[in-house]
């Protein structure tokens, strides 16, 4: 989504009239080759980079909100990354790199930008002691990155049983799987981040915890002493007990290696069957369409995603896929796979050279259970039970991401949220806690899902889609749908209403923080 109209943007070296930047306004312009954003807040003029460092969104279409930084935050319209207005620091995932900062001067009724300014020095923080992070996914990397940013990377050991260094898992079902991004684009940090004076990346698997000795024990025989242990083991794809689902042609998608295997299999496949109309399942369907495969989605649901988004939005998403040629077999269960076709419960057959399962995941709690940590009940979503600070039931141990069941500050209920950005923000929260912050975790859940250029944003959490309030026209892909529980607004799904999504998220963040 590159900006092709930079020649029409104001030249901030020449300056603009002060009247062109009223209180609360944002204006994008240029300084040489740089895209720069001017904004005025509380009378002060600030100049920062105009493009989000995550995936290049135009920050002028975001919002300014009160955040964890005293001077406020600017929030990205696409994936809700957050940056300090004062320093440009990326204070909320999914962005990690800061926005550049510039010198802005206002005199005699004109505002000019005179060049880049140095970022403020990182304030000193207390040493976190020895930190062992188990799991190199969203939350694990985000925790390690924040501690490293604060100058304590050498105290961190990140243990990962994934053969690849930490990467953006959202690419596995989206850009990388569809062929729109190269493999190296998935990495969350430069290759040398986990080398030298930075965190240690140990490619191994933690098999047990010795709580008395405060050590994590790996399959390779290492005993890793810790002052703080962060469990970020995530979740594992579920493979239903269906005849033939152990066939090599049947794939799940969780890791970058899984995506590699799918890409290789798709090279010779003509027909692809996706079992499960989940977000992952539908994103895989879109990626296979991009690879010019004939795709059929099989699911027991009457309408895709209806339990989460409601029937109207579910039918809208289904229509997006059908317009691209995807065939849906809804209200059907798979009875078996014989290596060439799926047999459904009505006796019909669907040819499939390749089968992909989008049938859900389960939290990886084996390590915690083996150590005697408290685990949430399965009917509550399972996961490791943590308190408002994401602390588990043993001293010095935290759990984050898909594996953590935490108390939602808005509803008071225990939640286990399987969202990429939410896991990252939980990792960042734990890092801040280890550096001395005491506030409870109070971030509003957020995720996005892309379907052929149409993006959905979802903030909050609702257990069902039975009580909804619809604004706009869902069938035309311009809407905001509010999901209500217990007489309150619990979640919001939007399409082409990014500002509304950001504003509601910011409001709920403030409510959660009290």
Residues 27-46 have pLDDT tens digits of 999 999 999 999 998 899 99
Q: Could you give the residue ranges of the DSSP H alpha helices within 127-255?
A: 138-149, 170-173, 175-178
CA distance 153 to 144: 7
The dihedral through the CA atoms of 286, 288, 293, 298 has a sign that is negative
Q: What phi-psi label fits residue 280: left (phi over 0), alpha (psi between -120 and 50 degrees) or beta?
A: alpha
Q: Which CATH number fits domain 131-236+362-434: 1.10.10.10, 3.50.50.60, 3.40.960.10, 3.40.640.10?
A: 3.50.50.60
pLDDT digits (tens, 9 = 90+) for 326-348: 999 999 999 999 999 999 999 99
CA–CA distance, 327 with 472 (Å, rounded to integer): 28
Domain ranges of the chain: 6-117, 131-236+362-434, 241-357, 453-513
- With a pLDDT cut of 70, the percent of the chain lying above it is 98
Report the pLDDT value the prediction gives residue 451, as an integer from 0 to 100.
93
C-alpha span between 19 and 140 (Å, rounded):
46
Q: How far apart are CA 401 and CA 422, in angstroms?
A: 7
Residue 5 has pLDDT above 80, yes or no: no
Evaluate if residue 420 carries a pLDDT over 70: yes
Rounded to 5°, angle at Cα 76 from 72 and 78: 160
Question: Residue 448: which of 229, 279, 319 has the closest Cα?
Answer: 279
Residue 2: what pLDDT? 43
Residue 212: Cβ-neighbour burial (10 angstroms; 0-12, 13-18, 19+): exposed
pLDDT at 195: 84
Task: Tell me the mean pLDDT in the region 81-106.
Answer: 96
| Position 288 pLDDT exceeds 80 | yes
Alpha carbons 140 and 423: distance in angstroms, whole number: 8
For the range 459-462, what are the long-range contacts, defined as Cβ-Cβ under 8 Å and sequence gap of 24 or more?
Answer: 459/80, 459/491, 459/492, 459/501, 459/504, 459/505, 459/508, 460/410, 460/489, 460/490, 460/491, 460/492, 460/504, 460/505, 460/508, 461/408, 461/411, 461/415, 461/417, 461/490, 461/491, 462/308, 462/490, 462/491
Distance CA 147, CA 433 (A): 10
Return the pLDDT at 66: 78
User: What strands, in cross-sheet order, belong to the sheet with 250-252?
Assistant: 250-252, 354-357, 271-275, 294-299, 327-330
pLDDT of residue 127: 86
Mean pLDDT of the chain: 94
Q: Do domains 6-117 and 453-513 have the same CATH topology?
A: no
494: left (phi over 0), alpha (psi -120 to 50) or beta: beta
- Mean pLDDT computed over 292-306: 97
* CATH fold label, 6-117: Rieske Iron-sulfur Protein (2.102.10)
The sheet with strand 404-407 has its strands ordered as 384-385, 404-407, 414-415
Cβ atoms of residues 173 and 278 within 8 Å: no
Which CATH class name applies to 241-357? alpha beta
DSSP helix/strand/coil, 446: strand
Distance CA 514, CA 494 (A): 26
Taking the model in full, what pTM does it have? 0.95
Contact 89, 76 (CB under 8 A): no
CA distance linking residue 235 with residue 261, whole number of Å: 19
Structure tokens at 157: 């050991």
Quickly count: other Cβ atoms within 10 Å of residue 31's Cβ. Answer: 21
Nearest one of 65, 141, 207 to 421, comparing CA atoms: 141
For domain 453-513, the question of CATH label 3.30.390.30 is answered with: yes
State the virtual CA torsion across 44, 48, 50, 56 in degrees, nearest 10. Answer: -140
Residue with tokens 């405060």: 214
Distances (CA, A) of 241 to 192, 337, 472: 42, 11, 42
Per-residue pLDDT, 68: 59
Q: How large is the average pLDDT for residues 405-416?
A: 93
Please say whether the beta carbons of 86 and 120 come within 8 A: yes
Whether residue 271 contacts residue 354, with contact meaning beta carbons closer than 8 Å, is answered with yes
* β partners of residue 450: 455
Please give the pLDDT value at position 379.
82
pLDDT, position 67: 65
Strands (E) in 281-434, as ranges, are 294-299, 327-330, 334-337, 341-344, 349-351, 354-357, 361-363, 384-385, 397-399, 404-407, 414-415
CA distance 103 to 117: 6
Strand arrangement of the beta sheet that strand 446-451 belongs to? 446-451, 454-460, 488-495, 478-485, 468-473
pLDDT for the residue 6 = 46
3-state DSSP assignment of residue 256: helix
pLDDT band at 4 (very low <50, low <70, confident <90, very high): very low
- DSSP assignment, residue 67? -
Distance CA 156, CA 148 (A): 8
- What is the model's pLDDT at position 93? 97
Please give the structure tokens belonging to residue 305.
Answer: 């995603």
Res 55 pLDDT > 80: yes
């Amino acid at each position: 989504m590159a900006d092709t109209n930079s020649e029409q943007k104001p030249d901030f070296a020449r300056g603009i009239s002060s009247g062109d930047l009223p209180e609360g306004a944002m204006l994008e312009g240029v300084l040489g080759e740089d895209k720069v954003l001017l904004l005025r807040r509380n009378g002060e003029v600030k100049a920062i980079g105009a493009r989000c460092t995550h995936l290049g969104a135009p920050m002028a279409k975001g919002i300014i909100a009160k955040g964890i930084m005293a001077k406020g935050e600017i929030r990205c319209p696409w994936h809700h990354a957050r940056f300090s207005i004062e320093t440009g620091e990326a204070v909320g995932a999914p962005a990690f790199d800061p926005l550049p900062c510039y010198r802005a001067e206002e005199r005699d009724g004109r505002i000019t930008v005179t060049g880049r300014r140095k970022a403020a020095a990182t304030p000193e923080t207390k040493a976190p002691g020895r930190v062992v992070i188990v799991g190199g996914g969203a939350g694990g990397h985000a925790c390690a990155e924040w501690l490293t940013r604060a100058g304590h990377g050498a105290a961190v050991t990140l243990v990962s049983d994934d053969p690849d260094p930490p990467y953006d898992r959202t690419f596995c079902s989206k850009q990388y799987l569809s062929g729109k991004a190269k493999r190296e684009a998935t990495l969350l940090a430069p290759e040398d981040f986990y080398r030298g004076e930075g965190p240690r990346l140990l490619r191994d698997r933690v098999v047990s915890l010795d709580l008395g000795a405060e050590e994590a024990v790996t399959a390779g025989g290492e005993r890793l002493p810790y002052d703080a242990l962060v469990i970020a083991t995530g979740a594992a794809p579920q493979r239903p007990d269906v005849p033939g689902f152990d066939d090599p042609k049947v794939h799940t998608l969780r890791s970058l290696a899984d995506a590699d295997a799918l890409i290789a299999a798709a090279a010779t496949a003509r027909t692809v069957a996706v079992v499960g109309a989940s977000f992952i399942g539908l994103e895989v369907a879109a990626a296979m369409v991009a690879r010019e495969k004939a795709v059929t989605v099989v699911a027991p649901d009457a309408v895709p995603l209806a339990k989460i988004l409601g029937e109207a939005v579910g039918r809208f998403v289904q229509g997006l896929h059908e317009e691209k040629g995807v065939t849906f077999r809804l209200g059907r269960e798979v009875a078996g796979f014989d290596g060439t076709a799926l047999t459904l419960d009505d006796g019909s057959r669907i040819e499939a050279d390749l089968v992909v399962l989008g049938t859900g995941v389960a939290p990886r709690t084996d390590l915690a259970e083996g150590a005697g940590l408290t685990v949430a009940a399965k009917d509550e979503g399972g996961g490791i039970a943590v308190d408002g600070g994401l602390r588990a039931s043993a001293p010095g141990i935290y759990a984050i991401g898909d594996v953590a069941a935490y108390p939602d500050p808005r509803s008071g209920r225990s939640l286990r949220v399987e969202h990429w950005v939410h896991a990252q923000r939980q990792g960042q929260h734990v890092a801040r806690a280890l550096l001395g912050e005491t506030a409870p975790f109070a971030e509003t859940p957020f995720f996005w899902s892309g379907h052929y250029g149409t993006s959905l944003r979802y903030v909050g959490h609702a257990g069902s889609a039975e009580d909804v309030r619809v604004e706009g026209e869902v069938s035309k892909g311009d809407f905001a749908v509010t999901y209500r529980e217990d007489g309150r607004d619990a979640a919001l799904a939007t399409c082409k209403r990014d500002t509304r999504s950001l504003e509601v998220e910011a409001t709920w963040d403030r409510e959660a923080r009290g």
